Amino acid sequence: MQIGIDIASIARIKHFINRFNQKALDRFLTSNEQTLYGTQPQKVASAWAAKEAFSKALGCGICAKCGFLDIELFRNQNGQPYLVLSPRIQDSFQIRSTSISISHDYGFVIAAVIVECNKNSIFLDSRENQ
């Protein structure tokens, strides 16, 4: 199991949305997420922090191995957040499960993600070689 954490400024995300409009959203939100969150800065910041935290838990950050659009953030009927991963990420890292917690206060959003991979995951191979 690995953990990743990220904090995002809601004001910074709002500025990003205002400055780049749709291009900003297209860069890191899937069309499903855009439908759910619109341009609501707090919700968009939650998605940003969640995706960054997930990629940090993998140990690679947002990069060619794990892009923003490979990760989707949703909420169940009780409001609990959960992640949906692209098949590429699911298969490459052999992810068994994820758990996420998101909180916001005083203009910031924080996300913590726990990732559990199968024993023969490339993720674990890269960590063992360090």
CA distance 83 to 71: 7
Query: In angstroms, how far is the first alpha carbon of the chain from the final one?
Result: 17
**Residue tagged active-site, from 43, 51, 56, 65:** 56
CA distance 46 to 74: 10
Instruction: Decide if 104 is catalytic.
Output: yes
Element (H, E) at 74: strand 71-75
Number of neighbours of residue 101 by Cβ within 10 angstroms? 14
Instruction: Decide if 51 is catalytic.
Output: no
**Residue tagged active-site, from 14, 23, 43, 104:** 104
Determine the distance from the C-alpha atom of residue 46 to the mean position of all C-alpha atoms in its chain, rounded to a whole number.
8
Q: Which are the catalytic amino acids? A: 56, 104
